Amino acid sequence: MAATGVKIREGKQGAAARHSARAGALFRRVALLPSRLFEAALGMTLAALAVDAEAATTFPAVLREPTPGQPESVFDFILAPKSGRG
């Protein structure tokens, strides 16, 4: 997904589409594993992440002028661990 984001920022839609398709396929394969540790660590199911990965270039982000020293996401989702604490 990081490579997809870089390619989107570079305006290379073909390369971004290849990276996002590969990421989606990989997430779908990992989703078949019995462990759910990845889902807990990522904060979403791998199936949902695969859909988001594949959609990343179908609905490309509208990029703004970057603010120096500030990160800016090119995706409409954020990966964050789920906390078991209330």
Identify the pLDDT of residue 60. 66
Q: DSSP label at 48?
A: H
Q: How far, CA to CA in Å, does 19 sit from each of 6, 69, 80? A: 10, 26, 21
Identify the pLDDT of residue 22. 94
pLDDT value at 36 more than 90: no
Q: DSSP label at 67?
A: P
pLDDT value at 86 more than 50: no
Q: Say if residues 4 and 19 touch (Cβ distance below 8 Å).
A: yes
Q: What mean pLDDT is predicted for residues 68-84?
A: 75
Q: pLDDT by residue (tens digit) across 5-29?
A: 889 888 898 999 999 999 999 999 9
Q: What is the CA radius of gyration of the chain?
A: 14
Identify the pLDDT of residue 15. 93
